[in-house]
């Protein structure tokens, strides 16, 4: 629990650091808005770059959290088929279970910071942004179900709801990225 708390605090600090830096850079550049806009075709470059990177961090976190699923389903079969790698596979299975919640929570925090920075960089909401926001909202609801599930892992309905919400989150996130 202490480790989880430290990890979440670290990610929050990182988010605040990135936001503060980009805001400072933006403020320092504010005298040059018109030139800046012409150069970049609208929007603020720093927020957009940091936001893009953090968006990919959210994708990486979501993918890492998702890895619990194939490993649960096929981990044992893999360990039997590849006896030499058995220990490594078991360790990976234990790792994904132990870190699933901190990784999932980080993915949610990254997605929220990404959305905020992208909004700050463009200051407009269109279809791509609305799909992104829907995806973050579903991720937030899935996280609430995830916490409830962590308190009672035998509740199959909570597990199904967690998975269904994340499936929708993933689909919307993919549409959002390819748009």
Which residues bind to ligand HEM, rule: CB under 6 A?
52, 55-56, 58-59, 62, 65-66, 68-69, 72, 97, 100-101, 104-105, 107-108, 111, 114-115, 118-119, 122, 128-129, 132-133, 135-136, 139, 143, 146-147, 149-150, 153, 159, 162-163, 166, 173, 176-177
Give the whole-angstrom CA distance, residue 41 versus residue 124: 14
| Contact residues for 150 (Cβ-Cβ < 8 A; gap 6+) | 101
Q: How far is the CB of 32 from ligand HEM (least distance, A)?
A: 20
Q: CB of 101 within 8 A of CB of 150?
A: yes
Within the chain, residue ranges assigned H as helices are 2-28, 33-40, 45-66, 68-81, 86-122, 127-151, 156-178
Q: How far is the CB of 70 from ligand HEM (least distance, A)?
A: 9
Backbone phi, psi, residue 18, to 5°: -65, -45
Q: How far is the CB of 43 from ligand HEM (least distance, A)?
A: 7
Q: How far is the CB of 18 from ligand HEM (least distance, A)?
A: 15
The token pair that represents 133 in the structure block: 């926001």
Cβ proximity to ligand HEM: between 25 and 141 the closer is: 141
Cβ proximity to ligand HEM: between 84 and 159 the closer is: 159
Q: CB of 86 within 8 A of CB of 114?
A: no
- Which residue, 71, 139, 146, is CA-closest to 107? 139
Cβ proximity to ligand HEM: between 84 and 153 the closer is: 153
Cβ proximity to ligand HEM: between 16 and 148 the closer is: 148
Cβ proximity to ligand HEM: between 17 and 147 the closer is: 147
Q: How far is the CB of 84 from ligand HEM (least distance, A)?
A: 25
């Amino acid at each position: 629990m202490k480790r989880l708390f430290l990890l979440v605090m670290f990610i929050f600090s990182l988010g605040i650091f990135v936001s503060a830096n980009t805001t400072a850079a933006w403020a320092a550049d504010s005298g040059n808005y018109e030139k800046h806009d012409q150069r970049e075709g609208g929007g603020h470059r720093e927020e957009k770059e940091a936001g893009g990177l953090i968006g990919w961090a959210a994708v990486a976190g979501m993918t890492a959290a998702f890895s619990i699923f194939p490993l649960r389903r096929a981990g044992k079969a893999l360990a039997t088929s590849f006896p030499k790698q058995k220990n490594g596979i078991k360790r990976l299975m234990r790792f994904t279970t132990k870190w699933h919640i901190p990784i999932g929570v980080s993915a949610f925090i990254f997605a929220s910071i990404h959305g905020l920075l992208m909004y700050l960089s463009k200051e407009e909401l269109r279809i791509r942004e609305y799909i992104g926001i829907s995806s973050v909202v579903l991720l937030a609801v899935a996280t609430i179900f995830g916490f409830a599930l962590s308190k009672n892992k035998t509740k199959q309905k909570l597990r199904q709801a967690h998975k269904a919400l994340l499936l929708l989150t993933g689909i919307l996130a993919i549409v959002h990225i390819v748009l």
